[in-house]
Structure 1
């Protein structure tokens, strides 16, 4: 029985649900799910939780994500990426300086309010925004607070005088719920020229990165490889405060009892026999169960 996180380097053109479907079929496993949806046109890190690790999905969602991508100044679309319908164009006669673009990017760093794209999975009154968009129904999109930790240029922008467009490459680190497409679109608004995201690749998510990733095709072609490539459940908790339990403490934890610990951490990963068995949360003078992983062997 597989238990852990399989880090898939998702290919372009597939949905996150497609990846789960093919893995479930290849590995003959029912308990499987993904953490952090990627749009079909976006490639990169898609963590897949298997077996006991499916209990971690909500925690995995809370981790920051990193992306590299490219955008174009000169036109904008309704979806904020190049797959959408063009809404605005502006033929540029001269390029925006890298310094100006960088200053614009920095204005979005920190905790900001963001409006998601109309073509997104955000729900309003029980329906996804993209359902309203496809039906041609206008709806107010809810603002949400997100945290952008980094938004930087990674190369000198390239200006195409004939097209009147400028291409730029960027790197972004952000919290859950952040739409990178919106950050590109909003950068254009900030600088007074329409902008659209042209490519995007997620390089890290849920504490895992591309160095640990494997293609879906490799697993489907040889399902036995999954056992060698899967990341153990404990790998997710490398940045947690970890406490090794005594036999007496372990007997209490197995029954979900509160325990006293000599630490000030708000949340701790409790280990027994070198395996994380539970996540406990500080509550007054004791720690109480937040997530149980008793079958993590």
Structure 2
């Protein structure tokens, strides 16, 4: 059983919870997820099984699409609804869809984000949330991310006593902190803000419609039809370029040998090597020799 099951992660469970469940259901230790979702976030979570675990880094590195809700009126220490309130400012005005749209479009493209204090990013060997919990000052790193597109959800504005909420859909690069994006959008509108809800609707080419719940997976297992839910490994690397080889070269590939670099393959990205449409390996340019390629992952 080699392949990918796009799981619909529910609120209240961790990504690791699903890995443990799939290990038991599939009766294998070779199970890995492709991008952590916080316990209170739901959404698409592709789970790789057996040989497919070899492509986890390549699936994790793909763009993501989220549906997020921003609440204007107060900020929190965690930048989402789970944290303690830090700053308050009542929203006593009407903010139009046009104004919100303008604020959203201002973040499209390459932007710089400061990593949230409550995150697992390490600084000098210690995770940022450990600094926060121990009240130790720390300089948080910044990173460049890409906001490919962001769109206001029509009719999503909800006015409460001192608060205002609205939702947007965003497609972005790996490593984007949506809660930080919500905070920054709020600041551009003149208010402290936080992310009050988040759903991941697409990642690695897998969509919400393709995803299955844990209950559905268990039912298919009981019916001995679990294979019906499994996508082939090739689906998880369809975003990579591919290169077809002949039978003689295919033997070298499955043995993990270095090869002369073909002129038609990308110079800066990993790519798939296939023989008669069977995925044999993922290769990349040799780091020390521009005229060679070397294997990154070889499939049995």
After TM superposition, the score normalised by the length of structure 2 is 0.90
Alpha-carbon distance in structure 1 between the residues aligned to 2:245 and 2:184? 49
2:292 pairs with 1:294: no
> Do 2:265 and 2:271's aligned partners in 1 also have CA atoms closer than 8 Å?
no
Tell me, in whole angstroms, the C-alpha distance in 2 between the residues paired with 1:272 and 1:217.
37
Q: Deviations over 1:125-175 (max 9, x none)?
A: 222222222233332211111111112211134242x51221111001111
Contact 1:280-1:287 at 8 Å conserved across structures: no
CA drift at 1:268: 3.1
Question: Among residues 169, 172, 187, which one is paired with 2:167 in the alignment?
Answer: 169
Q: Give yes or no for the alignment of 1:257 onto 2:255.
A: no
For residue 270 of structure 1, the aligned residue among 265, 270, 273 is 273
What secondary structure sits across from 1:18 in the alignment?
helix
Cross-structure match for 1:117: 116
Q: Which runs of 5+ in 1 are unaligned?
A: none
Shift of 1:244: 2.6
Contact 1:67 1:202 in 2 (8 A): yes
Q: 2:137, 2:75 → 1: CA distance?
A: 19
Tell me the equivalent position of 1:82. Answer: 81
For residues 191 and 57 of structure 2, the distance between their equivalents in structure 1, rounded to whole angstroms, comes to 38
1:1-297 maps to which residues of 2 (within 5 A)?
A: 2-160=1-159, 163-223=161-221, 224-255=224-255, 256-259=257-260, 261=262, 263-266=264-267, 267-282=270-285, 286=291, 288-295=293-300
Unaligned stretches of 5+ residues in structure 2: none
On the 8 A contact 1:278/1:289 being kept in 2, the answer is no
Change (3 A) 1:131 1:225: farther
Alpha carbons 2:71, 2:165 under 8 Å: kept: yes
**For the residues of structure 1 that align with 2:250 and 2:298, how far apart are their CA atoms?**
12
Give CA-to-partner distance per residue, 1:197-248, whole Å, 9 cap, x none. 1111101112221122111222234434432101100112323332332112
**1:54 Cα shift?**
1.0
| Residues 71 and 184, structure 1, Cα contact 8 Å, conserved in 2 | yes
8 Å Cα contact 1:11/1:43 also seen in 2: yes
Cα RMSD after superposing both structures: 1.9
Q: Distance in 2 between matches of 1:48 and 1:191?
A: 38
In structure 1, the residue corresponding to 2:253 is in which secondary structure?
A: helix
- TM normalised by structure 1 equals 0.91
Distance 2:167 2:247 in 1: 54
CA distance in 1, matches of 2:299, 2:206: 23
Asked if structure 2 preserves the Cα contact closer than 8 Å seen for 1:155 and 1:168, the reply is: no
Question: 1: distance between equivalents of 2:40 and 2:107?
Answer: 24
Say whether the 8 Å CA contact 1:52–1:293 is kept in structure 2: no
Change (3 A) 1:293 1:96: same
